[in-house]
Amino acid sequence: MRTSAVGTVTYVDGDRVWVFGHQLEGVGRRALLLQDAYVFRIVNNPTALGALASTYKLASSGHDLGTISSDGFSAVAGRTGALPHTVPVQVIARDLDTNAVAAINTSAADEAAVDLPSGGSWTSFIAPLAVSQAAAGLLGSTPARLTGNMCAKIALKEIEKPLRFCNRYVSTSATQSDDGSSLNAVLSGASSDLANAISSIDAYTGTPPQVTGINVLLKVRRGADQAFIRSVRLPSRVRPGQRVRARVSLQRVRGGTFARNYTVRIPGDAPRGSQRVRFVGQDADQGEDGFTTIIIGDDDERDEGGDPGPTSLKELEAQIKATARYDGVTARVGRSSRFEAFRDDEFRISGSADATVRVTRDAR
């Protein structure tokens, strides 16, 4: 997978190169790869009706030759020879239905040393794109009903062990993008989680850590592995802190009913007496729509001075690991705090159900 901007070489003086004759982004210092390119042909459009209908080059980037170091209003400049630091990105996608595998190995130019002049890293753009590309290439389609698991590993030079997180995704419907193509919540959700994790590193306000590699394993299967709770049975008497068996009746989406047993720990702060236990599952994932809503509160909120984010690499590590989400069933005994009740490795359990128990100090 390659992403690049192709333009015209304007002037060469030894190892110094000026290109474009205009800005790329106009953000000053850069640390991008300088590459050659092959132009297949010029696609002419004499009418030039708007930016999308003008004459353009049909071209492909080629070999790494050096470093683009300046991006000004009048030109983009660099030198041949030494290459900028890049972050290797590997994504392996596996089709659990056919055992087919697709792999993408690419690298993203790392501009952390020049203070991320575009505002964010190219890694936060390239790595999520590689996830979507690997999965789409593997499946050859974007089915609305899909189940996937993604495990990501982000290596930082300053932290001994790579940062890891895993999430499960379940999609039951498709959404439409602005260009009319179909979006799947599994692929967009996995890409979004990886982008958010890398963006946390970009936004770190301390001495920026150096990303040395990103590895992703994505497993997908057709169909939504989702089931809805129909009922839950618990022992009639329970004790705070006791582990009890829950007999759960489930309705598989587009399938039959079945029952499973799970172990539930009654929380230590469960109130005494006859109590209703409310079980609530997690719905299927929703596709990203690409829009962000910014809500501004009152003046007091705007005067808080901004969020500094994690104050240490240890806190940053914890924030990235927190990308992993619990997607099981939660519960509440009476008005006590909600707690994690149980999770199924095969199904995303959705819906809700109630059970009644008597919470006592002993088992009698």
**pLDDT tier, 51 (very low <50, low <70, confident <90, very high otherwise):** low
pLDDT reading at 47 higher than 80: no
Average pLDDT (265-284) is 94
The strand pair at 348-350 and 16-19 is best described as unpaired
SS3 content of the chain, % helix, strand, coil (to 5): 15, 45, 40
Alpha helices in 253-297 (DSSP H): none
Asked if 278 and 305 touch (Cβ cutoff 8 Å), the reply is no
Compute CA distances 259 → 143, 245, 273, whole Å: 28, 13, 28
Q: What percent of the chain has pLDDT over 90?
A: 74
pLDDT reading at 76 higher than 90: yes
Average pLDDT (306-316) is 87
pLDDT of residue 3: 87
Compute CA distances 145 → 55, 111, 202, 222, whole Å: 41, 38, 33, 6
pLDDT reading at 303 higher than 70: no
262: number of Cβ within 10 Å: 18
Compute the mean pLDDT over every residue in the chain, rounded to the nearest whole number: 89
pTM for this structure? Answer: 0.86
pLDDT of residue 290: 38
Average pLDDT (320-327) is 95
pLDDT reading at 227 higher than 90: yes
Among 352, 351, 361, 360, smallest CA distance to 332 is for 352
